[in-house]
Structure 1
Amino acid sequence: MDQKYSVPALDRADAVLNVLIDEPYRWKLSDLSKKLGISKSTLYSLLVTMERLQWVNRDRNETYAIGSTLGRYGSAFFRQYDLIGEFRRLAEPLMRKLQESIQLAVLEGDEVLYLAKVEAPSPVQMVSGPGVRFPAHATGLGKSLMLDMDEHQICALFPQETLPKITAHTIESRQALIQEVTNGRQAGYTLDLQEGVMGFCCVAAPIRKASGEIAAAISCSMPIHRWEEKKELAIQEILQLAQQLSNV
């Protein structure tokens, strides 16, 4: 990996954490300094910051262990796999009912990252499998993942007023995207009408954590010639599935 943009303080913090993971409440500042080859003054500032962030805990003997923040990070890491497992379990019967593909994705910057897909038995498919990224403004998933963002946050995500065209139907302006997100917030779901892929339409809805924060989103995609026939049922079912997957 290119080291050009690495942050030395984070490398040092990572080294500290790797020691503490294996041997909690054994190492004092002076011992860590010797083991890692980091000066005491530099390490002291680092540990004070890490303690403030609750990355580490310090006991009465001045020894260190990993802190509660890292526990939350670890739980969040494994919860995403719980979510994928539940998504596959619950989306499978819905796919069979609708005979259309169901996707799960998260927001990463101004793109959606697809985590999982339950694929319908159709010869024509959208390219939306795990690991695929796609411009968020051109997808129902992306719009759903932005439902809790205000205008300022959306402008920060998309600094330019003009948005890239993916198809002839893609939203062209940031202001139009803000309006779509506002409409979606009121409806509880969002649509993609041939905006990401010509010939396909999608309905999407957000999945929420117990705190109410949006964690991911799901969508149902289908060829346009089946859209009017199945649209209302797909909206109803996707909203229900999103509710089931919330708080997983």
Structure 2
Amino acid sequence: MSEKYSVPALDRAHAVLKLLAEEPYVWKLSDLSRRLGISKSTLYSLLSTMERLHWVDRDRNETYAAGSAMGDFGSAYFRQYDLIEQFRRNGEPVMRRLRESVQLARLEGGDVQYLAKIEAPTPVQMVSGVGVRFPAHATGLGKSLLAFRPEEEVRAVLRDETLRKVTVHTIGSRDAFMKELTEVRQKGYSMDLQEGVMGFCCVAAPVLNRSGEAVAAVSCSMPVHSWEGKKAEAMREIKALADVLSTSM
């Protein structure tokens, strides 16, 4: 990636953390200053901020080590892979019972990014492979992900009052979309009725962490001709799957 948009303070923080990870509780401020070529005044401000954020820890000898926040970040990094494995293990029986594909996704800016998919052996499939991104406001997954985020964050993601119509059924107004998110929070699941892809309907539910924030969402998509017959069962199955994955978080 180009260094054109680099933030020097973050580069310095990275250098500090890399050194402290290799040699914890060895380096004092003056030693770090000499080793990394960072002035003491700049480093003092940097370390003070990092200590406040628990990025670093300082002992009574004034030496530093990586702080508890680094452990939290590391755990979160590996949990996302645990989540995919849990999804595959628990989602496979759901797919077999519904005989429809099941997806796992996360929010990436204003888009939904698919993390995993368990495909049903059916001839008609919606394109939603791993890595595919889709406008969050046009998907059941996106509704479940955004419904459990702070309103100001949702409005920051959906900057314009008018939302892009992906199909004729896509919600085109941000206010109308925000109103639907309120209903999603109350019900605990969301639906996409041909809003993202013509001919397909979807039910989705959020995977919540301990703070009640949606870190991911699961869904089942199916052709519109199967929707009425399977809708109620799909809602129960997807909500139950989301609850199981939330517990694992």
Relative to the length of structure 2, the TM-score reads: 0.96
What are the residue-to-residue correspondences of 1:120-199 with 2, within 5 Å?
120-149=120-149, 151-199=151-199
Counterpart Cα distance in 1 of 2:225 and 2:219: 18
Q: Which secondary structure does the structure 2 equivalent of 1:19 belong to?
A: helix
The alpha carbon displacement at 1:31 in A equals 1.5
Q: Which residue of 1 aligns with 2:3?
A: 3
Letter in 1 for 2:9: A
Q: Deviations over 1:108-151 (max 9, x none)?
A: 22111111111111232222122111110000000001222454
Question: Could you say what secondary structure the match of 2:25 adopts?
Answer: coil
- Residues 1:35 and 2:56 are matched in the alignment: no
C-alpha displacement of 1:53: 0.8
Equivalent position of 1:107 in the other structure: 107
Q: For the Cα contact (< 8 Å) 2:149–2:214, is it kept in 1?
A: no
- 1:34 to partner: Cα distance: 1.6
User: SS at the partner of 1:247?
Assistant: helix
CA apart distance, 1:13: 0.3
Instruction: Indicate if the aligned counterparts of 2:104 and 2:217 stay in contact, CA closer than 8 A.
Output: yes
Within 5 Å, which residues of 2 pair with 1:18-33?
A: 18-33=18-33
Give unmatched runs, 5+ long, in structure 2. Answer: none
Contact 2:148 2:212 in 1 (8 A): no
* Alignment of 1:216 onto 2:216: yes
Percent identity (aligned) = 67
Q: Deviating runs (4+, > 4 A) in structure 1? A: none
Cα distance in structure 2, aligned partners of 1:150 and 1:81: 25
Q: Distance in 2 between matches of 1:57 and 1:247?
A: 31
Which residue number in structure 2 is paired with residue 203 of structure 1?
203
**Partner of 1:117 in structure 2?**
117
Q: Secondary structure at the match of 2:147?
A: coil
Give the partner amino acid of 2:219: S
Q: CA RMSD in A?
A: 1.3
What is the CA distance between 1:195 and its match in structure 2? 0.8
Query: How many angstroms does 1:238 deviate by?
Result: 0.6
Deviation string, structure 1 residues 23-80 (Cα, Å, up to 9, x no partner): 1001111211122111122111111111111100011111110001111111111111
Gaps of 5+ in 1: none
User: What CA distance in whole angstroms lies between the structure 1 residues aligned with 2:41 and 2:92?
Assistant: 56
Counterparts of 1:76 and 1:179, CA distance in 2: 31
Amino acid at match of 2:38: I
Q: Deviations over 1:5-33 (max 9, x none)?
A: 11000000001101111110011112111
